[in-house]
């Protein structure tokens, strides 16, 4: 056994021991076993690396996908992800300052935006409605910025971004497989879900209907559909990235299943967000037909047919446990879509409804513009604003990231975020064209899908896939720009094999 083998096995043993302790102490044996197997699969079969830094990076991404499902007993707000993030961030900073070339490779514009964003967030405490909320969200933004910077430091060249792509495809496939198994069995993973707090007040038929829908590692279906919508473009463009026919077929199948899961959740924002990303894929396919070859066009056609079937028949896959004397009532996605034309009429009556969200938007916009709070109400204080205004029932979450940014950071925040978003979008588009990188276009599709997807969850800030997408977008732009500029050569647009 080599020294590298000993280091790899020791690191894995420590990770397994910590996660095992957490699982035993919390009593969640299934999630712990799944986590250990996922880490082992990611490191041994996907990453195939013995380098300590790469191993910890794989563990970090796995932990991010497992979200809040693996938490420290007695401290539910501290996850396995936070532990790994702390260790990996220290190692990343050491590498960045030790190797000047790594530091010089990082995208300085993105780093500058994060510094300005964080400093403004800290300064906003001085005018906060609720300073406790501000401190809480400052901690969240600090961790998520650290996570993205970690991805930037790791992905300094094409070889590293290739590893990231393989890991993300593995983890995206895992989430989709778990989701479809949940649908077929009518049973969700044994983790905390959004309806647990009011479960006892629901009729049994409604509990059974909710439990029949997929959630995977997410807190609710809106979070899952946001994850599927913004991550699916990576699997879509992987069809063109790999030349292995089995890989192409696998990612075609996975993409169809992902859309089926979105349909089953009946999330309108997730549905439109997924189609936005898919539209980018179709446009890319049409414009690149000469380069890709006419035979490659069979995959977009299969996807279109698969999505049509999924839209019409996915609800037949639902396994809803029957209740004696009651019909299983469920709202289909098609029925919800037909109600779109009535968005602007009626009263605010139900949690998370469109009209309720419209009232939230009006409250925040009026608060910033009409009340001349142009600087915002401080980071995390949209919740406090909605609570004090009292016109959104018991719902205080923004349910729209642009509105959250506006309420928290005001007009300066909206301007800064607009620059940040457009920089990533246009930067990846230009890099994708110049360097012929399909994954830059996958980042573009994910960013476009993010626009509507960010209106689904109560707060996209809590959805880890959002930060993974941003880190991936920055990493793609940063790594592929350096190809042919003195860095370790990689396989640019030339497809590479995945076994």
147 pLDDT above the threshold of 90: yes
200-228: average pLDDT: 86
pLDDT score recorded for residue 488: 46
pLDDT score recorded for residue 475: 96
C-alpha closest to that of 343 among 272, 244, 411, 409: 272
> CA triplet 5, 244, 283: central angle to 5 degrees?
120
140 pLDDT above the threshold of 80: yes
120-145: average pLDDT: 96
Per-residue pLDDT of 334-348, as tens digits, reads 554 444 333 333 333
Find where tokens 């401290």 sit: 75
39 pLDDT above the threshold of 60: yes
CA torsion angle 85 91 96 97 (round to 10): 130
pLDDT score recorded for residue 312: 93
412-440: average pLDDT: 96
CA torsion angle 378 380 386 389 (round to 10): -30
Counting beta carbons within 10 angstroms of the beta carbon of residue 401, is it exposed (0 to 12), middle (13 to 18) or buried (19 or more)? buried
C-alpha closest to that of 339 among 437, 266, 278: 266
Query: Is residue 7 within 8 Å of 14, Cβ to Cβ?
Result: no
pLDDT score recorded for residue 197: 72
Per-residue pLDDT of 448-475, as tens digits, reads 999 999 998 888 999 999 999 999 999 9
Q: Residue 376 — left, alpha, or beta (φ > 0 → left; ψ -120 to 50 → alpha)?
A: left
pLDDT score recorded for residue 125: 96
The pLDDT-based confidence of 162 (bands split at 50, 70, 90) is very high
331 pLDDT above the threshold of 90: no
Per-residue pLDDT of 78-103, as tens digits, reads 899 999 999 999 999 999 988 888 88
Question: What whole-number distance in Å separates Cα of residue 442 and Cα of residue 393?
Answer: 39
Per-residue pLDDT of 363-397, as tens digits, reads 999 999 999 999 999 999 999 999 998 887 778 88
Sign of the C-alpha dihedral computed for residues 409, 126, 362 and 411 taken in this order: negative
């Amino acid at each position: 056994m080599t020294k590298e083998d000993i280091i790899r096995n020791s690191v894995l043993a420590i990770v397994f021991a910590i996660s095992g302790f957490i699982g035993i102490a919390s009593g969640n044996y299934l999630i712990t076993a799944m986590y250990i197997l996922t880490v082992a699969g990611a490191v041994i079969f996907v990453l195939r690396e013995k380098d300590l830094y790469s191993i910890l990076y794989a563990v970090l991404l796995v932990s991010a996908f497992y979200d809040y499902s693996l938490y420290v007993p007695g401290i539910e707000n501290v996850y396995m992800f936070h532990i790994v993030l702390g260790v990996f961030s220290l190692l990343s900073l050491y590498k960045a300052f030790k190797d000047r070339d790594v530091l010089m490779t990082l995208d300085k514009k993105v780093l500058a935006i994060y510094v300005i964003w964080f400093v403004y967030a800290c300064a906003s405490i001085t005018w906060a409605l609720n300073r406790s909320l501000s401190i809480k969200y400052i901690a969240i933004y600090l961790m998520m910025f650290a996570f993205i910077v970690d991805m930037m430091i790791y992905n300094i060249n094409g070889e590293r971004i290739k590893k990231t792509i393989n890991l993300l495809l593995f983890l995206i496939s895992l989430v989709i497989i778990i989701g479809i198994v949940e649908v077929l069995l009518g049973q969700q993973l044994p983790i905390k879900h959004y309806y647990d707090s009011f479960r006892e007040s629901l009729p049994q038929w409604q509990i059974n209907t909710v439990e029949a829908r997929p959630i995977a590692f997410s807190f609710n279906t809106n979070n899952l559909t946001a994850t599927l919508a913004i991550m699916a473009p990576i699997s879509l463009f992987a069809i063109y990235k790999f030349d292995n026919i089995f890989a192409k077929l696998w990612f075609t199948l996975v993409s169809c299943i992902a859309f089926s899961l979105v349909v089953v959740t009946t999330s309108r924002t997730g549905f439109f967000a997924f189609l936005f990303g898919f539209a980018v894929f179709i446009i890319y396919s049409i414009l690149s037909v000469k380069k890709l070859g006419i035979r490659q066009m069979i995959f977009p056609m299969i996807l279109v047919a698969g999505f049509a079937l999924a839209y019409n028949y996915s609800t037949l896959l639902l396994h809803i446990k029957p209740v004696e004397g009651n019909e299983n009532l469920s709202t289909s996605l098609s029925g919800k879509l037909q109600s779109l034309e009535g968005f602007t009429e009626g009263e605010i009556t139900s949690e998370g409804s469109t009209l309720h969200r419209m009232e939230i938007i009006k409250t925040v916009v009026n608060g910033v513009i009409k009340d001349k709070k142009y600087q915002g109400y401080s980071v995390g204080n949209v919740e406090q604003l909605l609570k004090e205004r009292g016109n959104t029932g018991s719902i205080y979450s923004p349910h729209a990231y642009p509105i959250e940014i506006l309420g928290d950071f005001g007009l300066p925040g909206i301007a800064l975020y607009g620059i940040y978003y457009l920089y990533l979008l246009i930067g990846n588009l230009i890099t994708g064209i110049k360097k012929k990188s399909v994954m830059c276009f996958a980042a573009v599709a994910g960013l476009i899908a993010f626009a509507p997807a960010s209106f689904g969850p109560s707060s996209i800030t809590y959805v880890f896939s959002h930060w993974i997408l941003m880190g991936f977008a920055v990493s793609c732009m940063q790594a592929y720009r350096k190809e042919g500029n003195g860095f370790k050569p990689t396989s640019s647009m030339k497809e590479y094999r995945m076994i």
